[in-house]
Structure 1
Amino acid sequence: MPLCAIAYVSDVAGPLSAAHLDALVEDAIRFNSLAGVTGVLLCDGSRFLQYFEGPDDGVSAVHERVLQARSHRAIHKLGHARVPQRYFPYWSMRWLGVEPTLIAELSAGDWEAFADRSLGGPPVDSAMERLMRFVAPHLPERAGVQETRSSAE
């Protein structure tokens, strides 16, 4: 089954507590599980950067839901492409708190070829590769682990 992915950045709409963000992500986990979508959400308190992947119909359904969400505004799609594999297969969704500089760096990075490298993965210096390097220490050591957020936050 062909997979595709979308990455976007947006502004948080109003105050957002960790508990509220946890609740939003729990809801996304339920929806994404049914849609067959996995991914990660970065939040610095004022901006989101989200990457999600899965079958075309699932990604389209999640994307439509993202566009309708009231928790953010000024949504800017960074990339939308076919991907050769799932990069975050363990999480229907997971959020990680980050410094604003990371979201600024990633959103300014190259997302045009985020799925490329001859369908073997993202180019070495792409924004997707930098996202994967940041997320790598948070990945579960064993399959089947589903957390909402990092216990380090």
Structure 2
Amino acid sequence: MLDRWFYISTSRLDETDAERHVGDIVAISVQRNRSLEVTGALLFTGRHFAQYIEGPPAAIAALQESILQDPRHQDIGTIACGSYPTRHFLTWSLGYAGPSRFVASKVEGALTDALKNRQGGAQALLHMLEQFAFPGSS
């Protein structure tokens, strides 16, 4: 059985350096997630992060604790967590599509929806993350 954690947070990154910092996060996370057998995806709108991670329960707990302590995040809200039977991101140690104003405008609406309507909104946001996934990519 796998665990998952799906959260949304408000970014504390300075907008002038945000893209560079997110690139650093992704580079470090890809390597760390591979070693922990964790897969998932990350969205960054410039204002918010949304991340879905899945893997062994101990690895997810460790990553969750790390993210909760990370000063680049504030107002972290869990929208889904716990045991889950299958992976959504089988081949992605951390999928990240990069910055995009168009994507950011669409994602902001989905993030708001997910926070208001946790179950239905979380499913819609997860579906959006899955649409970014390319089989075999990481």
TM-score normalised by structure 1 residue count: 0.75
* Counterpart in the other structure of 1:44: 45
CA distance in structure 1 between the partners assigned to 2:47 and 2:41 by the alignment: 17
* Counterpart in the other structure of 2:12: 13
Q: What is the aligned counterpart of 2:129 among 135, 138, 147?
A: 135
* Counterpart in the other structure of 1:114: none
What is the identity, as a one-letter code, of the residue corresponding to 2:133? Answer: L
Q: CA separation of 1:128/1:84 partners in 2, compared to 1, >3 Å: closer, same or farther?
A: farther
Q: CA separation of 1:110/1:69 partners in 2, compared to 1, >3 Å: closer, same or farther?
A: same
CA distance in structure 2 between the partners assigned to 1:14 and 1:132 by the alignment: 24
CA distance in structure 2 between the partners assigned to 1:34 and 1:64 by the alignment: 17
| CA offset digits 1:62-83 (Å, max 9, x no partner) | 1111112121112122221211
Paired residues of 1:35 and 1:61 also in contact (CA < 8 A)? no
How much has 1:15 moved relative to structure 2? 1.3
Paired residues of 1:10 and 1:49 also in contact (CA < 8 A)? yes
Paired residues of 2:41 and 2:95 also in contact (CA < 8 A)? yes
Paired residues of 1:7 and 1:50 also in contact (CA < 8 A)? yes
How much has 1:61 moved relative to structure 2? 1.2
Q: CA separation of 1:128/1:45 partners in 2, compared to 1, >3 Å: closer, same or farther?
A: same
For structure 2, the 5+ residue unaligned runs are none
Q: Which stretches of structure 1, 4 residues or longer, exceed 3 Å deviation after superposition?
A: none
What is the identity, as a one-letter code, of the residue corresponding to 1:7? Answer: F
For structure 1, the 5+ residue unaligned runs are 112-125, 147-153
| CA offset digits 1:85-115 (Å, max 9, x no partner) | 000112111234432222112222334xxxx
Paired residues of 2:110 and 2:125 also in contact (CA < 8 A)? no
* Counterpart in the other structure of 2:87: 86
